[in-house]
Amino acid sequence: MKRREIIKGLTLLPFAGSAAASPLNNLSTHPNGLQSHINDGFAIIDEDMVKRGENLLKSIGVEPFVNCKGTNTIMGGSVVRPEVKLAMDSVSTLNVQMDELAFGIGKRLAELTGAQWGIVTAGCAAGIKMVTAASLTGGDPEKLLRIPDLTGFAKSEVIIPLSSRNVYDHAVRNTGVKVITVKSLDELQKSINSRTAMIYMTPSEKEFSIANVSKIARPLNVPVFVDAASYILTFPDVHLAQGADAVGYSGGKGIKAPGCSGLILGRKDLLMSAHQVNSPHHGFGRDNKVGREEHIGMLAAVEASASLDHAKEMNLWVSYLETIGNKVGVIDGIKTTITRPDPQLLHHVTPYLHIRWNPEVLHVTGQEIAEELGTIAPRIAVAVGNDEPGLTGIMLVGYMMIPGNDKVAAKRIFEVLSRKRQPKVIPEMKNPVMNMIGNWDLEVEYFSSKVTQHLFIDTQDGNWITGIFKTDLSSRPFSGSIDGNEVKIVCEYFVPGDRILTTMQGYIEAGVLTGEMDFHEFNTAKFTAKKHKSTPNKKPIEYPKHRPQSS
């Protein structure tokens, strides 16, 4: 069996000063015979197993990729630490009483992190949902079974600073609460009342710092939940030390726990009520199930993080980026820079490799390079750098790679960037086939429904159009183009906490526009649009001669 070192220095030794040695230290053998090599400070993975996984994915038409971009959930989140996989496998054939497991893990998490208690949830968003429910019910199971119907609840509101509104506060709103958005600490203080169940916020060093918010909330017995999903886990926890009552982390990010797990730390009374909501218990949280594997996997990840030589791990990540940077840096016109994260910024967990060039010299943009790398095997996921005058580029992170990934990425990126390209010739746009100004009725076909929407095109300046896109629930401006008979339109739906980017592409034939709509992460729909025909009112119009005597 082939074996390869993945990360030196990763062990399952307990956090220094913790109350008891970790039982995970006793894990020395994988069920299939894979040794963890804990004693010599090495953790290893099975290359044959990785190859089997690749073949399995390809057999169903899925092409895996080297992750040099980050821990976005849509990309599968983080790669788990070897200790995590070992721990998960070790309990996968054992039966346990889930409350006993949760309480054992809660106690151990408290010992490791300095928090009063800890719970494992089905991702950080599920943890937000559980703690919100706990703040509403106070542990009363009858109230729990009524969520999201909050009729008769003493508490039914959650306050969120405007700067903290994000797509993940859906987890708060799912409980049926009324969200109160505030813009200042003064407004926050005035908004707290007997109905306030909780304050939800993301970490900030500005006006809405945890310390400032806690100073207002704690005397009024209003719990403060901090969403630190992508932040570094510190020992002891820095957010709790600043005054948070509970803090949530994503397992599938810097902790490198199972991607479908979350870690919630904080006050034991609040988290015990949150566990009451959490699966396997029936009621509001049953749909967020956490298996024994995720429970023990999260504990293993926290154990590993607590005892880890983080400086050594950072140097390993930098070495991956150096391999790539040294390979592509010899290309004429390419400049590479590696930056390490500021240790004071807890949301920056990885070093970055910036690869920059002049798009007028290499005749390609960072967006185009990222697109090619991400779609053609061997696939390499990279971020697009911020363009500026005379420069474009891509950006890579080191913390999601495993040994060998750096060489694959270096070779592939070198091949793509060193390719000779001709200067781009942007074709002239064709004359529009028609004047599009007017009202268009859109028949939109989603996956499982059909609706009528509208385009109100109010200007057409040559090939460029603007107007309003109207759905049943919103109206928003759009901009677009008509190139011959090809029409493209883009518009954005944005409210605090939510965003939908809509892009349309279609073709006009015999006055009918047909095509497809793309909703970014929400996939696509088909549409057919026809210009609305209206018959003008040809009756004479009379101006009123006196004020009405009846309405």
Give the integer Cα–Cα distance in Å for 545 and 77. 71
| Ramachandran assignment for 337, one of left (phi > 0), alpha (psi -120 to 50 degrees), beta (any other) | beta
Residue 40 has pLDDT above 60, yes or no: no
- Please tell me the predicted confidence (pLDDT) of residue 45: 59
List the single range of 211-215, 256-260, 345-349, 522-526 with lowest mean pLDDT: 345-349
Give the integer Cα–Cα distance in Å for 266 and 115. 5
Beta bridge partners of 182: 161
Q: How far is CA 548 from CA 166, 358, 459, 541, 551, in A?
A: 51, 71, 38, 17, 7
- Please tell me the predicted confidence (pLDDT) of residue 255: 93
- Please tell me the predicted confidence (pLDDT) of residue 24: 61
The stretch 403-414 carries a mean pLDDT of 95
Token pair, residue 443, equals 């028949």
Give the integer Cα–Cα distance in Å for 389 and 359. 10
Q: What is the pLDDT of residues 51-97, one digit of tens each?
A: 888 889 889 988 888 999 988 888 888 888 889 999 999 999 999 99
- Please tell me the predicted confidence (pLDDT) of residue 386: 87
- Please tell me the predicted confidence (pLDDT) of residue 7: 27
Q: How far is CA 363 from CA 359, 425, 434, in A?
A: 5, 10, 34
Give the CA count within 13 Å in the CB-facing half-sphere of 34: 24
- Please tell me the predicted confidence (pLDDT) of residue 23: 54
Q: What is the pTM of this model?
A: 0.85
Closest to 194 (Cα-Cα) out of 145, 143, 157? 157
Token pair, residue 116, equals 């009063």
Q: Residue with structure tokens 């400049």?
A: 335
Closest to 227 (Cα-Cα) out of 195, 264, 272, 257? 264
Class for domain 11-38+61-307, per CATH? alpha beta
The stretch 166-186 carries a mean pLDDT of 95
In this structure, which CATH number among 3.40.50.1000, 3.20.20.80, 3.90.1150.180, 3.40.50.970 belongs to the domain 310-417?
Answer: 3.90.1150.180
In this structure, which CATH number among 2.40.128.120, 3.30.2390.10, 3.40.50.150, 1.10.10.10 belongs to the domain 438-531?
Answer: 2.40.128.120
E strand or H helix at 250: strand 246-250
Strand 524-531 and strand 438-445: the pairing is antiparallel
Backbone φ, ψ for residue 46 (5° rounding) = -95, 115
Cβ count near 165 (within 10 Å): 18
Q: How far is CA 224 from the centre of its chain?
A: 22
- Please tell me the predicted confidence (pLDDT) of residue 538: 84
Residue 18 has pLDDT above 90, yes or no: no
Give the integer Cα–Cα distance in Å for 294 and 252. 11
Q: What is the pLDDT of residues 342-372, one digit of tens each?
A: 877 777 789 999 999 999 999 999 999 999 9
Residue 42 has pLDDT above 50, yes or no: no
- Please tell me the predicted confidence (pLDDT) of residue 15: 30
Give the CA count within 13 Å in the CB-facing half-sphere of 383: 15
Q: Mean pLDDT over all residues of the chain?
A: 89
Q: How far is CA 542 from CA 410, 446, 537, 539, 546, in A?
A: 77, 46, 13, 9, 12
CB 172 within 8 A of CB 179: yes
Q: How far is CA 284 from the centre of its chain?
A: 23
Give the integer Cα–Cα distance in Å for 204 and 230. 14
Summary count for the chain: helices (H), strands (E)? 15, 23
The stretch 239-268 carries a mean pLDDT of 95
Res. 187 pLDDT band, cuts 50 70 90: very high
- Please tell me the predicted confidence (pLDDT) of residue 359: 95
Rounded percentage of the chain residues whose pLDDT exceeds 70: 91
Closest to 316 (Cα-Cα) out of 43, 65, 47? 43
Residue 2 has pLDDT above 80, yes or no: no
Domain spans in the chain, listed from the N-terminal domain onward: 11-38+61-307, 310-417, 438-531
- Of residues 140 and 538, the one with the higher pLDDT is 140
The stretch 25-43 carries a mean pLDDT of 40
List the single range of 40-44, 94-98, 197-201 with lowest mean pLDDT: 40-44
Res. 387 pLDDT band, cuts 50 70 90: confident
Backbone φ, ψ for residue 500 (5° rounding) = -130, 120
The stretch 90-105 carries a mean pLDDT of 94
